[in-house]
Amino acid sequence: MKIGVPKEIKNNENRVGITPAGVLELTKNGHQVYVQSTAGEGSGFSDEEYKNAGAEVLGGIKAVYDVAEMIVKVKEPIAEEYGLIKENQVVFTYFHFASSSELTDAMISSKAICIAYETVEDKDGTLPLLTPMSEVAGRMAVQQGAKYLEKPIKGKGVLLGGVPGVEPGKVLILGGGTVGIQAAKMAAGLGAIVTILDVNLKRLRYISDVMPDNVFTGFSNEYNIRKLIKTYDLIIGGVLIPGAKAPKLITRDMLKEMTPGTVIVDVAVDQGGCFETTKPTTHENPTYIIDDVVHYCVANMPGAVPYTSTVALTNVTLPYVIKLANMGWEKACAGDEGLHKGLNIIKGEVVYEGIL
Ligand SMILES: NC(=O)c1ccc[n+]([C@@H]2O[C@H](COP(=O)([O-])OP(=O)(O)OC[C@H]3O[C@@H](n4cnc5c(N)ncnc54)[C@H](O)[C@@H]3O)[C@@H](O)[C@H]2O)c1
């Protein structure tokens, strides 16, 4: 199959759909990969590396869309790309159709086969192509939080690990899912005192079993949250109720209970945020302050670390890309229930009930 990898043109998107390692695997399977020149640059992969792995590097985005039977990318197509997508072309990427009727209409008109990363499921019903981005965001939440605790950028002036003779900082994590557990690992590794609150006791039991001694668990309710926020330095929001807006666990009035310079990182900002005062921010301007509390609410945290994010994402997408290329989309989806759930629009027809 002819597979095309265009350069992402969405503002500040530096990830790429296939790495040179992926090109090598696809080439070994008898496929031809066409990569747009400089597509991998933002993630640290040169045209030369792609060529050495067996790809053909093409000058412009149109050439890639023109030649490819399947396009593999990262972000949903934006308006400039709509007209490039061809009838019967497979497009495998994040789409998030529910949040854009314009995109949905454009993809219906294109008559392409749209397979969305975010709705592909594992056998256990989890979303394997979303997990790596939560892993990145969870780990980054602590890195960013630790930085914004520094006094010159309006933080409390606390070093999370402490030093001999000075107690460590305290990190409160709301939600013990993928984001929460990765954040906890990082914070615990720095030597902080960490508490994870969740409403799922089975999850809390698991966390309690596997985490080091400086990680504690608690049940998530208003009473416990109000008690803990008074003394914690960094608060990370990583809750998710699938298909719903995040619950507002930290209300505006609670900010006054925190000590000045407390940092709150709302990773759940993409689901509306779990703090009442959350509003989405960007990497250019990641924080704002309300009631002396530093808010970090970047909606695409993995975008800041494109090398790690690209490799983490393509580790999980590549097996599906190979399957789609080897078998063709119809056979591949028929034989794999989880991949079948990724089908959102087929040749002008919406088939995923979430966007019907
Ligand atoms: N900002 C970003 O760049 C970025 C990147 C990746 C993921 N995210 C977002 O982070 C959020 C978390 O993702 P995840 O993969 O960890 O989800 P997950 O499903 O693995 O975990 C969510 C956890 O929240 C818990 N929860 C639900 N209600 C709760 C409550 N009231 N109190 C405490 N815990 C509660 C659940 O029991 C679950 O353990 C999602 O909204 C996701 O979209 C954001």
* DSSP E strand boundaries for 49-141: 56-58, 70-72, 90-93, 113-116
Please confirm, yes or no, whether 283 is among the known catalytic residues: no
- Mean pLDDT calculated for residue range 24-32: 98
For position 125, what pLDDT does the model report? 87
- Lining residues, ligand 1, CB within 6 Å: 133-134, 137, 174-180, 197-200, 203, 220, 238-241, 247, 249, 267-271, 299-302
DSSP three-state, residue 349 = strand
Question: According to the annotation, is 300 in a ligand binding site?
Answer: yes
Question: According to the annotation, is 234 in a ligand binding site?
Answer: no
Please confirm, yes or no, whether 124 is among the known catalytic residues: no
For position 312, what pLDDT does the model report? 98
**Domain 2-120+305-355: which CATH number of 3.40.50.720, 1.10.357.20, 1.10.357.10, 3.90.1300.10:** 3.40.50.720
pLDDT in tens, 281-302: 999 999 999 999 999 999 899 9
* Phi, psi (rounded to 5 degrees) for 232: -85, 150
For position 11, what pLDDT does the model report? 81
- Mean pLDDT calculated for residue range 240-255: 91
Domain ranges of the chain: 2-120+305-355, 131-304
The model's pTM is 0.93
Question: How far is 173 from 175, CA to CA, in rounded Å?
Answer: 6
Question: According to the annotation, is 15 in a ligand binding site?
Answer: yes
pLDDT of 242 > 80? The answer is: no
Q: Whose CA is nearest to atom 37 of ligand 1?
A: 200
- Report the topology of domain 131-304: Rossmann fold (3.40.50)
CA distances 353 to 106, 304, 356, Å, are: 18, 33, 5
| Structure confidence at residue 356 as a pLDDT band (50, 70, 90) | low
DSSP 8-state class, residue 114? E
123: tokens are: 């056998």
Same-fold call for 2-120+305-355 versus 131-304: yes
Question: How far is 302 from 206, CA to CA, in rounded Å?
Answer: 26
Ligand 1 atom nearest to 179, measured from its CA: 16
pLDDT in tens, 187-233: 999 999 999 999 999 999 999 999 999 999 999 999 999 999 999 99
pLDDT of 26 > 80? The answer is: yes
Catalytic residue among 31, 233, 266, 270: 270
Task: Choose one of 239, 281, 298 to mutate for the ligand 1 pocket test, by most ligand atoms within 8 angstroms of C-beta.
Answer: 239
